[in-house]
Amino acid sequence: MQAQANKILDALLAAGFDEGRVTIKETDVNELNIAHNHVSLMRTTQSQSLSLMAIQQGRRVTASVSSLDEATVQQVITDLQRDVTASPQDEAYAVAPDQQGEFVRGPQSVDRETIAASAKGLLDARSKKYPTFGIEECAVKHTLETTTLVTSRDTGLTSSLGSYGVMIMGSSKDHHGSSSFTYTGGELEALPAQLADVLDIDAMMANSVQETHTEMIASKFTGDVILTPMAVMDLIGWLTGQVSDLALLSQASVYQNAVGDMIAAPALTLSNNPQGAGQAPFDGEGFLVRPVTLIDAGRLSCQLPSYYGSRKLQIPHVPAGDAWRIAAGDVSRADMQASVKHGALVGRLSMGSPAPNGDFSGVIKNSFLLENGQRTKALTETMITGNVAQMLKDILAISQEVSDFGGYQLPWLQVSGLRFS
Amino acid sequence: MSFENFTRAGEYNEFRQHELRKRRLVMIDGNLMANDSTHLVGQSARVYQKGYWGFASASEPAGADKLGNTALANARAMQLFGGSSLSLPTVGHQGEHGTACQPNWSSKELIDWLKTVNELARSRYDKLASVKLVAMDEYHDKHIQNSAGARVYNNISRALTYMMLTVKDRDDKPVELMQIISGKGSFGDLDLSLSAVEKQLDELHRHLMDKREAVHAQGGLQTVVLAPDLAGILAHEAMGHPCEADLVLGGAVTGDMRGQRIASDLVTMVDFAHSYNGEELLMPVYADDEGTPARDVTLIKDGILTDFMHNRETSSRFGDQVTGNARAYAPDDEPLIRMRNTAILPGTSKLEEMIAGVEDGYYLMKTGNGQADTTTEFMFGVNLGYEIKNGKLGRAIKDTTLSGSAIKMLQSVDAVSSDMCWESAGYCGKKQPMVVSMGGPALRAKAQLGGE
């Protein structure tokens, strides 16, 4: 692959481009699907892609195709030559310089028997422990992704990245009614003997079967929320979006000039997790992912622009990857729950994108009312309103327990001051 | 791509050749952030054998025989789980269906248009913090054959632009609003003339200035008038997804409600296959990706829940007619039950009269994303809305969320306008993305609004 990538890079430069980046990716997936509590489908997919980025006189163009035959490659280069002339000139366009590495991570071959055994174990656990929970959809898969990335600035990277992945979604139904759907999932280095023991799958089913009988809150109030890890992911997604290209380049980020500022409670430390299962050792631009602490004891340490964004805004480039972990806190989940006078334990937030200033209102799903430290009834048709940036500052506690989803490693967060309606 | 010699491995077998071409250009304040094109080609086979499906795909041409045999081996590998076979419908469509597009715009024409619109917005409006512009198009070409005799060529294409303006409010916080121009076919089929764009930007900017001074909505149960743009997403999220037969099998509450009243008798809702009132719709599906002839599915008739949307397997399980709702997004995706053109049908009221009849409520005009649930509890973001006080529009409201039980909301509908507005922008997400369209009139109902 590397020889082929270098040959295509040479062809790009010979066609008159000043700089170039070539990425060849081959992906093999073996996936077993469960639908409605029964194994339903086995998938085997093999795909490849060639992605090119080229710069000519400060103009940039990119293209991707799924064929690597010579005629296709030549046609893509011809199309790039045509299209690059329309691109505006921008000195910030550049390719990754001086990145080198060869990586082999994770299981390099699929064990289909283990996939089948894991699926069977999950189905058995469901029917024995949580018979009213229905698995609407579940995928257990092995992915092997082989990538070669070269640039005209002495970057040469290869990786062979294997991982198992699990996604499960379902809901419960009994004589009370149906629960909201719920889901969890993540990446694993190896499939365990009991799939329900990982990725919070057992906890998800245990909660779901208690959510068929739901009630609305009696009246509006302001209180605390305890966000479980799947809801915490929404918080992190908003934050990383605010310190990435789209928000920063349009001057619309609430953290535009906030590096060094306290933007969260001192208890919060958020770092990337490049060693997590299934995590790529380099990013799509061709930069090695380095360890990054984005929020250090509440203080914003850096922003996450792309290489282009960093050159455009003249701020440091921080290649961080896509996986994040929050350092464990000092409160047990039980004590955290016991400390809430009036609020909710929130499994999932169903909402539109928060406004650019962080304001949001969302429906809390898979959630339970907390009253005087007790988890009481499952909730329906309940919304919370607040501001995401303010929520980060209003974190009261972080749990000692951390759930591991492969890339993401997240605790529960207790946040004060949300309006319930 | 064309039709191939076809293997007949397994009890049922289908073979799809699929080409997907996409472009995406993003300009922020005159800077071209993305100028990407993607061209995916692939073949796939899916086999049904003794109760199990096997699927195989490759981006290099592998042929129907090889992929069919791999898919059969995958289906056989699952026989260890036991189970019994199901007799699948035997109907197969033959035909070729495509969108007749106007000549498409080149990347140069698109970039020139983006530059012009950026300059137009910058020169026309003071105090803009940012102008974000996106242009995207996509073309799906599929050749589908199956052991039921189907031999189908489908082409679906869509082009769209997002125009987003951002200003800062009094606290120096960003406030934004977006306008979408989208449609079937290519950019050549859209009205992207400067006069049309200018008119839409003026309207967008007027609302943005209102939103800059916006107030929080009152949270809780409110009387709301949904503009026609919003009724479509209500149809899609609130009752569309819970009427997909795979979600019904997964436990959706609709499973026990066929024949029951779930909405006001003013509400009729249909997932149209390809045409409405004699005109082809934005996402015309004449035969689905299982080679099944597509037909309209009436989900709600005068307030009564009637039918569900099916693929071959669920139509057998339910004993219902096939509907042609099995669709696959990418070359390596298997078909899933997806909506096509989902709409609430128009009534007889006038929008102005519907607003005039509200003493205290909200007029909701634009939406972001939405989400459905097995319980029919839906939500969608509201990016533009106004108070209604004593029958007149008042102050703009800040971004909020509309939610509630779709059944309760649809039962509260007391007026449906005679308008009909269709749109196709963004993607429906359900394991795979999917291009769909949605439509509807204005509705007046009660639902939960997020806010103070």
Work out the pLDDT band at B4, boundaries 50, 70, 90.
Answer: confident
Residues of A in contact with B242 (CB under 8 A): none
What is the extent of the structural domain holding A7?
A: 2-208
Regarding whether A272 and A350 lie in a shared domain, the answer is: yes
pLDDT, residue B82, reads 81
CB-CB contact of A79 with A63 (8 Å) = yes
Give pLDDT tens digits for B389-446: 999 999 999 999 999 889 999 999 999 999 999 999 889 988 899 999 999 999 999 9
Task: Report the alpha-carbon distance of residue A91 to residue A58 in Å, rounded.
Answer: 6
pLDDT, residue A139, reads 97
The closest alpha carbon to B265, from B297, B293, B303, B237, belongs to B303
Give pLDDT tens digits for B338-348: 999 999 999 99
- How confident is the model over A10-28, as a mean pLDDT? 97
Regarding whether A355 and A264 lie in a shared domain, the answer is: yes
For chain A, give the number of residues. Answer: 421
**Contact with chain A for residue B59, Cβ under 8 A:** yes
Residues of A in contact with B30 (CB under 8 A): 88
Q: Which tokens belong to B262? A: 């779930």
pLDDT, residue B172, reads 86
The residue type found at A254 is: V
What is the Cβ-side half-sphere exposure of residue B202, based on CA atoms within 13 angstroms? Answer: 6
β-bridge pairing B279-280 and B220-226: unpaired
The closest alpha carbon to A116, from B52, B393, B209, belongs to B52
pLDDT, residue B1, reads 66
Separation of CA B286 from chain center? 17
Q: Give the DSSP per-residue string, A17-68.
A: -SEEEEEEEEEEEEEEEEETTEEEEEEEEEEEEEEEEEEETTEEEEEEES--
β-bridge pairing B336-337 and B151-168: unpaired
The residue out of A208, A242, A277 marking a domain boundary is A208
**Contact with chain B for residue A355, Cβ under 8 A:** yes
Put simply, the answer to whether A88 touches B400 (Cβ < 8 Å) is: no
Residue A340 has pLDDT above 90, yes or no: yes
Residue B205 has pLDDT above 80, yes or no: yes
Centre a 10 Å sphere on the Cβ of residue B133 and count the other Cβ atoms it contains. Answer: 24
The residue out of A176, A208, A240 marking a domain boundary is A208
Q: How far apart are the first and last CA of chain A?
A: 57
- How confident is the model over B52-79, as a mean pLDDT? 92
β-bridge pairing B130-146 and B151-168: antiparallel
Instruction: DSSP letter for A393, please.
Output: H
Task: Report the alpha-carbon distance of residue A340 to residue A358 in Å, rounded.
Answer: 24
Least CA distance to A51: which residue of chain B? B38
Least CA distance to A135: which residue of chain B? B250
- How confident is the model over A212-233, as a mean pLDDT? 93
CB-CB contact of A22 with A149 (8 Å) = yes
Regarding whether A154 and A35 lie in a shared domain, the answer is: yes
pLDDT, residue B171, reads 86
Regarding whether A246 and A182 lie in a shared domain, the answer is: no
CB-CB contact of A347 with A228 (8 Å) = yes
pLDDT, residue A233, reads 93
- How confident is the model over B232-256, as a mean pLDDT? 89
Residues of B in contact with A82 (CB under 8 A): 106-107
The residue out of A208, A236, A258 marking a domain boundary is A208
Residue B2 has pLDDT above 80, yes or no: no
Q: Which tokens belong to A202? A: 């057992």
The closest alpha carbon to A156, from A99, A220, A109, belongs to A99
Residue B6 has pLDDT above 80, yes or no: no
Instruction: Determine the residue among A36, A38, A66, A133 to mutate to test chain B binding: the one whose Cβ has the most chain B Cβ atoms within 10 Å.
Output: A66
Q: Which tokens belong to B265? A: 């008798």
Q: Give the DSSP per-residue string, A62-125.
A: EEEES---HHHHHHHHHHHHHHHTTSPP-TT-----S-EEEEEES--S--HHHHHHHHHHHHHH
Mean pLDDT of chain B: 93
Residues of B in contact with A170 (CB under 8 A): 250-251
The CATH fold assigned to B12-212 is PmbA/TldD fold (3.30.2290)
Q: How many CB pairs under 8 A join A and B?
A: 268
CB-CB contact of A166 with A135 (8 Å) = no
Q: What is the percentage of chain A residues whose pLDDT exceeds 70?
A: 100
Work out the pLDDT band at A7, boundaries 50, 70, 90.
Answer: very high
- How confident is the model over A72-90, as a mean pLDDT? 93
Residues of A in contact with B40 (CB under 8 A): 49, 64-66
Least CA distance to B107: which residue of chain A? A83
- How confident is the model over B178-192, as a mean pLDDT? 95
Give pLDDT tens digits for A346-371: 999 888 778 888 888 889 999 999 99
Q: Which residues are CB-neighbours of B195 under 8 A, at least 6 positions away?
A: none
pTM of the model: 0.91
Regarding whether A232 and A204 lie in a shared domain, the answer is: no
- How confident is the model over A97-125, as a mean pLDDT? 95
Residue B233 has pLDDT above 90, yes or no: no
Point out the least confidently predicted range of A55-64, A200-209, A353-362, B410-419: A353-362
Residue written as tokens 């997604």?
A237
CB-CB contact of B415 with B446 (8 Å) = no
pLDDT, residue B369, reads 78
**Contact with chain A for residue B252, Cβ under 8 A:** yes
What CATH number is attached to the domain comprising A45?
3.30.2290.10
Residues of A in contact with B171 (CB under 8 A): 357
The sign one gets for the Cα dihedral B344, B345, B347, B350 is positive
* C-alpha pair distances (Å), B148 with each of B11, B90, B151: 10, 5, 9
pLDDT, residue A351, reads 81
Report the b/e string of A109-119 with b at 16+ CB within 10 A: ebeeebbbbbb
Q: Which residues are CB-neighbours of B198 under 8 A, at least 6 positions away?
A: B120, B124
Task: Report the alpha-carbon distance of residue A64 to residue A61 in Å, rounded.
Answer: 11
> Domain tally for chain A?
2
* C-alpha pair distances (Å), B28 with each of A87, A253, B25, B160, B394: 13, 14, 10, 17, 32
Put simply, the answer to whether A355 touches B373 (Cβ < 8 Å) is: no
The closest alpha carbon to A383, from B419, B190, B401, belongs to B401
Q: Which tokens belong to A400? A: 């000692």
Separation of CA B326 from chain center? 14
The structural domains of chain B, with segments of one domain joined by +, span 12-212, 220-449
Regarding whether A173 and A253 lie in a shared domain, the answer is: no
**Contact with chain B for residue A216, Cβ under 8 A:** no
Task: Report the alpha-carbon distance of residue B242 to residue A235 in Å, rounded.
Answer: 28
- How confident is the model over B81-107, as a mean pLDDT? 89
pLDDT, residue B9, reads 80
Q: CA of A376 to nearest chain B CA: how many angstroms apart?
A: 21
3-state secondary structure B246-314: HHHHCCCHHHHCCCCECCCCCCCEEEECCEECCEECCCCCCECCCCCECCCEEEEECCEECCCECCHHH
Question: Which comes out higher in pLDDT, residue B7 or A390?
Answer: A390
Work out the pLDDT band at B149, boundaries 50, 70, 90.
Answer: very high
Task: Report the alpha-carbon distance of residue B439 to residue B83 in Å, rounded.
Answer: 41
This complex has an ipTM of 0.89
Task: Report the alpha-carbon distance of residue B371 to residue A135 in Å, rounded.
Answer: 19
Put simply, the answer to whether A385 touches B451 (Cβ < 8 Å) is: yes
Question: Which comes out higher in pLDDT, residue B363 or A216?
Answer: B363
